[in-house]
Structures are given as C-alpha cells and as structure tokens.
C-alpha cells in the first residue's frame, strides 16, 4: 500500500513538472533569448534606415539576412517573429498594422514599445525616425548591460553554496587531524 502511494506521489510530481514547470522554463528561456536579441535588432534596423532604406524595406532585409544565417545555425525566436512580419509586409498588409501586430504577438515590453513606435511612425511619417531608433538602440544596449550584470550576480549567488561546502570540507580536513593529535 505504501509503495502504491509513493508511486502515485512520484507520478503526480512527474506529471506536474512535464505539464507546468517544463513549459514555463521554456517560455522563460524564449523570453530571455528575445530580450538578448533586441539591441542587435534595433541597431541593425537603425543602420539600414540610416542607409536610406524605408522601414518596411529594412525590415524585410533583416528577415532575409536572418533566413540566410538560419540555414547555417540555429534559429532565434525574435528573428522568427520578425520573419513572420516580413511575410505579412510582402503579402500586402499595411506596414503600420504589421508592426503593431509584431509587438503584440511577441508580448515583451521592449518589442511592444518598438511595434507601437514603428506603427505610429508609419502613420505620422518617417520624420525623426532615425533619431528615435538611435535613442531606442542606446536605451536597449544600456538595458542589455544591466541584464548581463544581473545574470552575473545570479551566477555568483548560485556559486556560494558549493563554495561554502568546499570550505566546510577543507575545515574538516584541517580540524579532524588536529583533534586526533590532541587526544593522543
């Protein structure tokens, strides 16, 4: 009877992990990857628009460059969403609407902000677009620096437990022989 109860508890924990925790971890991994890609996307978009491409043309160019890179390596979530928007643009969806949907579809604050910025810019016209993109690129790189710093702090915090365990082992190695010498 005890074995059946124990087996049921283990099975319940396994089901919970497979249905709740594993997808949550994958979503968190996706979010982190997309946040890491954001400064690069903004910088490339800024360079392409500064070079004279219109915003939709620059967007499609980014998607094409990524698709060439994807054939050689692994895929990136943010660029996959970017490719979806590029296909929408090529299929005739208005640029403002496509950019707005991009931000809402991704659902991360920085991308929502970018989508609404681009959507508004397509409605108002491209005056001041480069300045806004440069400011957003600077802000994105600053945020990326803070994220890297936070990740470093998390890693150093996780390393404290093994470090204290090693300290305990060293102390035991030193103290046990000392105590044994006193008892003789």
Mean pLDDT calculated for residue range 29-45: 90
Looking at the structure of the chain, the number of domains it has is: 1
pLDDT for 105-155, tens place per residue? 998 888 998 888 888 888 877 677 888 888 888 888 898 898 889 888 888
Domain with 160, as residue range(s), is 2-183
- What's CA 136's distance to the chain center, in Å? 17
Per-residue model confidence (pLDDT) at position 126: 65
Q: What confidence tens digit (pLDDT) does each residue in 58-104 have? A: 999 999 999 998 888 888 888 999 999 999 999 989 988 999 899 89
Q: What is the per-residue pLDDT for 57?
A: 92
pTM: predicted TM-score of the whole model, two decimal places:
0.71
CB 62 within 8 A of CB 82: yes
């Amino acid at each position: 009877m005890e074995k059946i109860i124990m087996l049921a508890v283990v099975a319940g924990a396994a089901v919970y992990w497979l249905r709740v925790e594993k997808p949550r971890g994958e979503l968190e991994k996706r979010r982190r990857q997309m946040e890491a890609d954001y400064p690069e996307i903004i910088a490339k978009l800024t360079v392409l628009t500064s070079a004279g491409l219109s915003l939709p043309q620059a967007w499609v160019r980014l998607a094409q460059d990524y698709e060439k890179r994807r054939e050689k390596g692994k895929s990136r979530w943010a660029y996959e969403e970017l490719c979806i928007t590029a296909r929408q643009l090529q299929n005739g969806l208005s640029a403002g609407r496509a950019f707005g949907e991009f931000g809402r579809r991704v659902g991360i604050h920085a991308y929502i902000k970018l989508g609404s910025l681009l959507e508004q810019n397509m409605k108002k016209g491209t005056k001041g677009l480069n300045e806004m993109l440069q400011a957003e690129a600077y802000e994105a790189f600053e945020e990326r620096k803070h994220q890297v710093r936070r990740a470093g702090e998390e890693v150093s915090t996780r390393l404290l437990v093994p470090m204290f365990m090693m300290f305990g082992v060293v102390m035991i190695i030193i103290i046990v022989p000392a105590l044994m010498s006193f008892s003789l």
